[in-house]
Amino acid sequence: MSSVYDEIREAAELSAAPRRSPSRPLVRVDLSTSSIAAEADRLWEALEPLAAEHDVDLVRVGTLGLSWLEPVVEVERPGFGGGGAVVYGPVRPEEAGQFLTAALGEHPLEDAAQWLIGARTPVQGVPSLSDHPFWAPQERRLMQSMGVIDPESLDEAIAAGAYEALDRAIEMEPMAICDLVLSAGVGGRGGGGFPAGQKWKFLLGAQSQTKYLVCNADEGDPGAFVNRVLMESDPHLVIEGMAIAGKATGSDYGFIYIRDEYPLSIARMELALAQARERGLLGENIFGSGFDFDLEITRGAGSYVCGEETGLIASVEGLRGMPKIRPPFPAQKGVFAEPSNVNNTETYANVPLIVQHGADWYRLHGTESDPGTKMFSISGSLERPGILEVPFGMGMDELLLGCGGGPPDGHTPKGIQPGGPLGGLLPASDLGLKLERPPFTERGVLLGSGGLILFDERASAVDLTKYFSEFCEDESCGRCTTCHGGSQRLVEVLERIMHGDGREEDLERIGVIDKTLQNANCLHGQFTPYAVRGLVNYFRDELDVHINDKRDPAQVAPGLTRYLITDQSDPRLEEAATFCPTSCINRAPVESDDDEEPSDELGDWQINEPQCIHCDVCREIAPDAIRVEDRYLTMLSVV
């Protein structure tokens, strides 16, 4: 260890001591984006005035990943049952006082039972979190400090070991770092899986005074929030990884490109950068070694193709974020025409761990093709959505059904959407696939960057495909007609099918569009047909029913269904009518024989079909009196 780092470490440990070996109880509140969406900020406000009274230290932390239990609170009581930390959730803001009293009392096991989840570190008598199905199979490396340290405190990060690997790497030869990362076999986490060490060597070998690093934190895939959690919960891990990459590639400056949808990530990264600079962990002559490195943040503005590396580079340069044809690759001509290297946030975050523990340690988990661990964000129809880190090669069923608990309320899994809009669709029968790239590629889909969405029988595969195709159309940069025109045609065909106008030749037409799109300029267009290919390959029955029988088994396509009133006597119809956004539920006055005096009597309830927007409000209110029918089937039976 360099003496400079030693000093920094010692000072940080001293200042973080009250948090690391506390003398009074610590109450850690998860303040990350999804937790705040569950009102963790209001919980914090409610706890603050109570902290003094209960003599506790209130600590802001990132997420443990237990999204379905948010807001999550962890209580660590020195001297109680061995002094471990117990996780509770969800704790509602209005329960703050009651919760503190219970969790800090004599019998938290009984009194706080309604919130109790488990002990993260051993507490006598409290069930361990590692026995929880969500936690048990996890291998938390990147997530080790997440939800434990205050992401806004550099002291806590350093005391937990941050920047130790940088100190070590700075003493190493650049080529040795590249070799280490290459032998560990870290694949790019952005979806491509290209060996990071190899890419670094390209940049190291580039002849230029100026070289740039770029961190891809655009995370455009809906349903993926791995990078967000990394930046919000342990920002210094990302910064340290980039600094090591800087040393390894001979680069002294980098850009972190964060999507605009992540304001908290941007704020925490900005703060972390400022702290690191102030402490001399970034800037000139780091640890007195002569190595300079600094970073800046570029804030995106809502564009999916800016996640593609050449689009991202264009965006950093202040242009429209339109991808370019490669070559030249970024290592030849990147940001401002200088040689550059683009990696995903999670790719960089793995690097400090490898420098610290070595390539063999890294390969203890994972598979031949994908060594190490991977963070996954799981959502959709799940009992326990959240974010976790597991070894590559684990079964997808173990992750989604085991950890995630499968669909709630007895629904049955229907399919999986891995890897974002370009990833494709898989049927539930593929749940057994191993979580590594090859089996997914073999099935014609992409494992992608870590988002996995499970859907059940209530969702329509056709509707989902239309959504992803629409997304790809919307986000097409517009440079090549193949892509923006092709995706437009695709959406049109799917839309027509969902309106009962499907034709037999549509399958052929989809095939032609698929082939055409494969000739698009960039991967965005080339991967656009993955979703529809999944539909045709794995949900063919459903598509056929749409086309041939004009029926939507999931009953979500407005063009193929209609709402019918089946019980005129239900008193709730009155209320359903007032809630209908388009006032399409009415009863006309009964026509009276007497022309002069219209009758007060009202006739039957009716739904005015052309006005109906299929919003389901009426059926939610009067489920026994209103039914969704197949539009064409009922029409036939009427004739």
Residue 211 and residue 335: Cα distance in Å, rounded?
A: 9
The site partner of 172 among another protein, ligand FES, ligand FMN, none (C-beta below 5 to 8 Å per kind) is: none
**Closest distance of CB 225 from ligand FES, Å:** 8
Closest to another protein by CB, 54 vs 411, is: 411
**Closest distance of CB 415 from another protein, Å:** 10
Select from 213-221, 544-552, 571-579, 603-611 the region that touches ligand FMN (CB under 6 A). 213-221
Q: How many CB atoms are located within 10 Å of the residue 155 CB?
A: 22
**Closest distance of CB 303 from another protein, Å:** 5
The site for ligand FES (CB under 6 A) is made up of: 222-223
Q: Out of 114, 441, 519, 582, which residue is the one contacting another protein (CB under 8 A)?
A: 582
189 counts as binding ligand FMN under rule CB under 6 A: yes
**Closest distance of CB 632 from ligand FES, Å:** 31
Q: Return the half-sphere exposure (C-beta side, CA atoms, 13 A cut-off) of residue 473.
A: 15
Among 343, 371, 345, 370, smallest CA distance to 358 is for 371
In this chain, which residue has its C-beta nearest to ligand FMN? 188
**Closest distance of CB 512 from ligand FMN, Å:** 22
190 counts as binding ligand FMN under rule CB under 6 A: yes
Residue 245 and residue 247: Cα distance in Å, rounded?
A: 5
Question: What one-character-per-residue DSSP string does 406-426 give?
Answer: SSSTT--EEEEEESSTTT--E
Q: Out of 84, 108, 188, 197, which residue is the one contacting ligand FMN (CB under 6 A)?
A: 188
**Closest distance of CB 115 from another protein, Å:** 17
**Closest distance of CB 17 from another protein, Å:** 34
Q: Out of 239, 447, 554, 585, which residue is the one contacting another protein (CB under 8 A)?
A: 554
Partnered with residue 344 across adjacent β-strands are: 216
248-277 residues in contact with another protein (CB under 8 A) are 260-262
Residue 149 and residue 28: Cα distance in Å, rounded?
A: 9
Q: Out of 344, 350, 469, 487, which residue is the one contacting ligand FMN (CB under 6 A)?
A: 344
598 counts as binding another protein under rule CB under 8 A: no
556 counts as binding another protein under rule CB under 8 A: yes
86 counts as binding ligand FMN under rule CB under 6 A: no
216 counts as binding ligand FMN under rule CB under 6 A: yes
CB 119 within 8 A of CB 125: no
Question: What one-character-per-residue DSSP string does 224-239 give?
Answer: --HHHHHHHH-HHHHH
Which stretches within 160-221 are classed as H helix? 164-170, 174-184, 196-205
Q: Out of 256, 403, 453, 532, which residue is the one contacting another protein (CB under 8 A)?
A: 453
Residue 458 and residue 490: Cα distance in Å, rounded?
A: 24
371-430 residues in contact with another protein (CB under 8 A) are 377, 379-381, 385-386, 408-409, 417
Query: Site map for another protein, 38-57, x if CB under 8 A?
Result: xx--x---------------
Beta-sheet pairing, 451-456 with 426-427: unpaired
Which stretches within 363-450 are classed as H helix? 396-397, 437-442
Residue 1 and residue 141: Cα distance in Å, rounded?
A: 22
Tokens of 92: 């509602």
Q: Which helix (H) or strand (E) holds 254?
A: strand 253-258
The site partner of 68 among another protein, ligand FES, ligand FMN, none (C-beta below 5 to 8 Å per kind) is: another protein
457-516 residues in contact with another protein (CB under 8 A) are 457-460, 463-464, 467-468, 471, 477
**Closest distance of CB 113 from ligand FMN, Å:** 42
Tokens of 375: 């963070």
301 counts as binding another protein under rule CB under 8 A: yes
Query: Site map for ligand FMN, 513-552, x if CB under 6 A?
Result: ----------xx----------------------------
Q: How many CB atoms are located within 10 Å of the residue 26 CB?
A: 19
Asked if the bond preceding 413 is cis, omega within 30° of 0, the reply is no
- Terminal alpha carbon distance of the chain: 86
The site partner of 262 among ligand FMN, ligand FES, another protein, none (C-beta below 5 to 8 Å per kind) is: another protein
Q: How many CB atoms are located within 10 Å of the residue 531 CB?
A: 28
The site partner of 343 among another protein, ligand FES, ligand FMN, none (C-beta below 5 to 8 Å per kind) is: ligand FMN
3-state secondary structure (DSSP) of residue 386: strand
424 counts as binding ligand FMN under rule CB under 6 A: no
Partnered with residue 317 across adjacent β-strands are: none
CB 271 within 8 A of CB 228: no
Closest to ligand FMN by CB, 163 vs 530, is: 530
Residue 349 and residue 114: Cα distance in Å, rounded?
A: 36
Residue 628 and residue 616: Cα distance in Å, rounded?
A: 9
Q: Out of 343, 373, 460, 528, which residue is the one contacting ligand FMN (CB under 6 A)?
A: 343
Residue type, 597: E
Residue 535 and residue 530: Cα distance in Å, rounded?
A: 9
Tokens of 326: 């490669």
Select from 138-146, 172-180, 338-346, 618-626 the region that touches ligand FMN (CB under 6 A). 338-346
Among 163, 248, 158, smallest CA distance to 198 is for 248
The site partner of 347 among another protein, ligand FES, ligand FMN, none (C-beta below 5 to 8 Å per kind) is: ligand FMN
Q: How far is CA 37 from CA 29, 30, 156, 377, in A?
A: 14, 11, 25, 17
**Closest distance of CB 457 from another protein, Å:** 7
259-318 residues in contact with ligand FMN (CB under 6 A) are 305, 307-309
Closest to ligand FES by CB, 122 vs 222, is: 222
**Closest distance of CB 390 from ligand FMN, Å:** 19
581 counts as binding another protein under rule CB under 8 A: yes
The residues binding ligand FMN (CB under 6 A) are 188-192, 194, 216, 218-220, 305, 307-309, 342-344, 347, 449, 523-524
